[in-house]
Structures are given as C-alpha cells and as structure tokens.
Structure 1
Amino acid sequence: MRTLRFVELAEDGRTLILAPDVPQAIDNGERFALSIDERLRAAARGDVSRLGQIEIDVGADLPPREIQSRIRAGESAEQVAAASGMRLERIERYAYPVLQERSRMVERASTARVRLRESQTALPLAEFIAERLAVLGAAESRWDACRSGPNWEIRLAWRAGHRSGTTRWEYEVATRSVTPLDAETAEFAEGTRLVRVVNEEGGPAGSGPFEHDTSPLSVPPVPGKGGEDRRYRGAPVDVLIGGGAGPIPSNGHEDPEGDARAHDPRARIPSWEDIVFGVRRPG
C-alpha cells in the first residue's frame, strides 16, 4: 500500500491534493485528488459512530421525506448528495419543491412586521433591512429561509466593502411578524452599530464604527404606492441616547411642536438627514 501526503487544498475548496510520500528527489510530480465529504470529515475527527452511520446511509437511498426534511432545514441538494452518496439528479427531483417553498417563505417574510419590543411600531422586514443596508452602503445581499423547528428562520447575508455579516430572524406565520434570533441581529436591528448619536453642538457624542469611515452613504429610492419613488425619510432608526432607544418619527410635514422642543434642554434625537449628511448649523 502506497503512502500519500497532503500537498494543498484545491481551488474549489472541496478537494484535497495528495502526492506520494517519497523524497523530493524522486518525486515524479504525480498527484491525487480526494474529495472532502462527510465520511472524510468523520474519519479525520476519529468519530467512529458517525462514520458507521454514514456508511449505513450510503448503502441505502434516503427516503424522499428525509431528503426534503434536510433541504427544508437549510441544506443544498449538493450537500445532501455528497453526504448520502446518492446521485445529484435524484436528490434534485425531491429538492425542487422544497427550494420553491423556501423562496416563497422569504417573499412572505419580507412583508412581515419587524418586532423589536412589544410597544414598538415597526416596518415590513424588506423595507426595514433596506434602510439599514443603505446606511451601511451594502451593495450585495442574499436572502434565504430554512426551518428545523416550529417557525421559519429568515437569513440575510450582506457585504459592504470589506465588511460582511449575516442576520437571522424568526418568522412567525400566525402573527406575520419577525424577531431577531441572536445578539448580532438584535444589534443590527436596533441600529446601535449603524448610526452615531449627534449632540446639540453638532459633534459625535461618542465613538462608533463610522467615526473614521469617510465613504459616502447612499440612500437608494424605494418604490411607493402608484410606482412613484420615495426616499427613506423618517423610517424608524433606533438611536441610543442616555441609555434609552426610540425611533425617529417623521412624516414629511412640519411638526407643530417643533418650537416647543427647540427649547427643551434634553438631548435632541437627530433627524434622518442629520444621521446621513451630518448636522447642519443654522446659517
């Protein structure tokens, strides 16, 4: 039996390149490719019980119900095929309707209301997310849905330059609402890492992730009723002031209570224009 040694990971990230374990002087350049699958991972971990279970699974085709359950839980057809040893074409036959179901759930969840606190009025998820991504300057995003429990999980992966992240939301079909599933998503939703608090003198009240970020922020138009374009003006963005948080209200009309608030000695909640373009001093 010949002994092989590891050379490198192939460009596809799913294949190991191996070579005969011989002195370099007599190495003739012969190379071998070994696909990374669940069996190899289990063997590398020394997980004998898992390896035995995989061998049993490979020996028999997965039932359609099992295939669809795994696809619904978030696996791709390629992942199920690699783990089961079944032909991809056979997996895809049962995976297609479930992938369509996942796509429909993303579409339905996009119109569900974001629920951060019981007393908070929220936007539909798609508009809520678009607002945050606009502040981040994100140019790429990808939605997906999966379910392994009673409720669906909606995922959004985004990229803004060298920054990237994934938000995870629980979608309750009965109430048509979504809530953050983890701390990272909660911080993303609350806006604590997206905006900076501006004090009355026009300077930042504290350091934040955009303190040294000089890249311009672009606020894209959002289609409104009747097809007209509508800018993100007055969408609720949570800003922490003195330990509290609250949405920034605005409806595009003059506020009759504006004069009364102008003399309020308490910290002022900045408007959306203040957050994006900075506070303008009165001329």
Structure 2
Amino acid sequence: MRTLRVVGLHEDGKSIVCEDPARRERFLLPADERLRAAARGDITRLGQIEIELESQMRPREIQARIRAGESVEQVANSAGVPMQRVERFAYPVLLERSRTAELAQSAHPVRADGPDVQTLSEVVAYAFGVRGQDYSQVTWDAWKGDDGRWVVGLRWQAGRSDNQAHWAFSPGAHGGTVTALDEDAEALLDPESYRAPRPVSAEAEQPTLDSVVGGAAVFEVPEPDESDTRELPRVPAEDPPPRQPAPPPRPKSRRKHTAVPAWEDVLLGVRSQRG
C-alpha cells in the first residue's frame, strides 16, 4: 500500500488532489461523506455509509425492523448484507428488547376486577407447576407491535409442539400491567381451568366408519389360490355328547287297605253290643 500526500483541492471543488511522492503520480479522491467521516475518526458513521452504499436499507430501517421483532439474520438476508454489518446497529435494539421483556415479567396481569397482586412471572410459573411442565425452559422476548405498544411473548415446548403466548405490556408504576392477547395467554393466567389432555392408547384402536358397516366390523377374507393343490387338513368330527343315564323307576306307592273282619267277629261283636 502506497502513501499519498494531499496536494490540494481540485478545480471542480468536489475532489482532493493527492500525489505519490516516489513516482510523482497524482490521484483524485472524492470529497464525499465517507472522507469527512474518516477525517473525523467517526467509525460508526463510516459503517452506516457502507451499508447505505451496499444496500437500500438505511440503519434506521434496520433498527426499526429489529425493534418490531425480526432477528439479525432475517434483516441481513432481506438487506443482502453480511450479518456482522447488521449486528452493530441491531445490538442496542436487542438490549432494549431484552430489558423490556424483564420488566414485563414484573408487571401485573389485568383481570376483571383490576390488576392482580401477583406478577406475570409468578402467575405463569404457578401455571406451569399445575401442568407439570418445566418453567426454567421457557423463553421471554419483547418487541413493538404495529400500534407502537410493547408486546411481550413467551415460548415453550410441550412434547413435540411449540407453544406461544402474548401479552400487551404497558409500563407504569409498580411494574406496569399486562393484558392477554390470545387464548394461550388467557389460559396461563387462569391455571385452575387447565385440563390435562387424555392419553390415547396406541393398542386400543377405535373402529372407524370405514371399518364398520351397520354396527358390525368388516373383515377382509383372502380369495383362495387356485394354483395351490395342497389338501386341506381334515377337521376331526366331534364326539357326540355322552348320553345321560336314565333315571331309576319311580317306586309304586302302596296304599293301605282296611282289614275286613271275619263274620264270626262281626257276629260276636254284634252280640256283645246287644248283650
């Protein structure tokens, strides 16, 4: 890299004339905003000018998009510049978002009868305990919505599903207030109404409409293969059930006949009665 010395201002008034002392070659250097920033030692302004020249997205627009919830990677891909050049402008905004998320956790949820005594983080932590979920694995974030108000978001994973809840955050005295913006946020503010999902057993499969016709299950029977000449095994005939033994003959009942006395006894008896 050769060292040049400044000769003076060009006749057009927009360029600086520089000269190589060794070779006596002269060069023109545009007297633009980058040269002025370099002369002042303003590195931040130099980075802004570099992004403005390489992309149509200005630093203010980058910060506005970061403040609206976009990530550094999303903005860099949209602007067509390396992530390192976006991070220098996104860093202060990311700190602002992180600080706002911390403040929102200390805010009080708004209920029908007014702000709750407990903070948002206390209510949500209790709700996770009721559900049997790990509160330490959640992620808090904050950004500005289209209406200019701060929105605080909570992300967590339950099983294979990713869940999100959002509240509108209004900074103020005693931590400010938060208002639920969706059903998941309302459910977290009312832990007692939570109902655990019923587990579905994989072994007990319920019949569907396609497998049931008229209330009876339909089973597909394979058609016989004509090329199969094997003899089917014979099913042995079942033995007839054993005969029950005939009941024993019922004994005949014997009736007692009245004994008939002889005529002598009758005659004597008559005589004795008469005498």
**Which TM-score bucket, shorter chain as reference?**
0.3 to 0.5
Please report the TM-score for the alignment, with normalisation by the length of structure 1: 0.46
Please report the TM-score for the alignment, with normalisation by the length of structure 2: 0.48
Rg comparison, structure with higher value: 2
